[in-house]
Amino acid sequence: MSVRSIVIVSGLLLLAACNTDNPLAGSNAPVSSGTLKIETVEFQRNGGPQCPGTPGVTPDNQQCASVRISYPKVQDPGNPAVAETINQFIRTQLLEYGEDEQGKQPATLDELANTFIGEYLQDPVGAWEMERHIAVAFGTEQLLTLSYSESGYTGGAHPFSGQRHFVLATGNGQQLTLSDLLASGYESQLNVAGEKAFRQAREIAPDANLESEGFWFENNAFKVNTNFGVMADGLLFTFNPYEVAPYALGPTDFTVHYEDIRSLISTSSPLAALAK
């Protein structure tokens, strides 16, 4: 594994060392005041009879499984318990995988890679890939948004991919939900604002039938999911492939702007400073 370090100073998150392929990562995302050190850790493992770098191996004759992972490791000298809570949360997301024969999840990145490569070696045809990346997408004095992306291929008709967002409280490292951020009974108004943003993102007319446009929602009524991140201009939601539409339509990202849900944000909410 390789490690690169960045430091958060005076409320500014310097993301130059983060994964530049992450479109959510900005160069000046404010986070908690004080000094917070973030190391970007990179992990890579290959396995198989014919992996890149072996003499005679070309993209056409590869027999190899590859695992590539990057993630932020937080260090907070002032509150190491919070840093460990956040780091443990990150590890849990990265290590999520099908249980082995003993019903256990991988406990380390090495075990995750060994499991993935081991499954490939049972029938080493073509190339398998798994990439998992977590990056800091945005932050304030009270919360931190992490963006998790996964992609890969294990045979079949097409690759797999997905995006998840997590919002963590900087005070204790615990994950925040929509209920923690918005007023009680927020669902109806948020769904109305969410549908507006969803239709704009998908260029669907306000009066068009969602089902006719290829999207499925229960009773054909739009509803946001819980896959959201707090960003500078609003709440970013993502519907992954197969979630509300066929694979061919791909994922959908849309932002519900704070101005459209201002009445749902109390003065005590962690979103209050962003919704001014």
CATH number at residue 218: 3.90.640.20
In this predicted structure, the answer to whether residue 222 has a pLDDT above a threshold of 80 is yes
Range of the domain at 12: 2-136
β-pair type (252-257, 234-239) = antiparallel
Last residue of a domain, one of 136, 170, 194: 136
In a domain, 166, yes or no: no
Backbone angles phi, psi at 273, to 5 degrees: -70, -30
pLDDT of residue 229: 98
| Mean pLDDT of all residues belonging to the chain | 87
Across 49-53, 180-184, 208-212, least confident range: 49-53
Q: 14 and 111 in one domain?
A: yes
Structure tokens at 57: 């191996």
Last residue of a domain, one of 116, 136, 156: 136
Q: 106 and 11 in one domain?
A: yes
Core vs surface per residue 180-206: b (16+ CB within 10 A) or e: ebbeeebeeebbebbbbbbbeebebee
In a domain, 158, yes or no: no
In a domain, 226, yes or no: yes
Torsion sign across C-alpha atoms 132, 226, 81, 137: positive
Across 24-38, 50-64, 153-167, 221-235, least confident range: 24-38
In a domain, 258, yes or no: yes
Torsion sign across C-alpha atoms 8, 10, 12, 16: negative
pLDDT of residue 26: 35
- When pLDDT is cut at 50, 70 and 90, the band that residue 108 belongs to is very high
In a domain, 228, yes or no: yes
Give the count of domains, the chain.
2
Q: 219 and 124 in one domain?
A: no
pLDDT of residue 184: 96
- When pLDDT is cut at 50, 70 and 90, the band that residue 59 belongs to is confident
Last residue of a domain, one of 136, 170, 196: 136
In a domain, 269, yes or no: no
Across 2-11, 23-32, 78-87, 221-230, least confident range: 23-32
Summarised one tens digit per residue, pLDDT across range 112-151 is 999 999 999 999 999 999 999 999 999 998 999 999 999 9
pLDDT of residue 37: 79
In the chain, % of residues over pLDDT 90 = 72
Q: 16 and 96 in one domain?
A: yes
Across 31-40, 77-86, 246-255, least confident range: 31-40
Q: 185 and 132 in one domain?
A: no
In a domain, 63, yes or no: yes
In this predicted structure, the answer to whether residue 4 has a pLDDT above a threshold of 60 is no
pLDDT of residue 3: 56
pLDDT of residue 41: 96
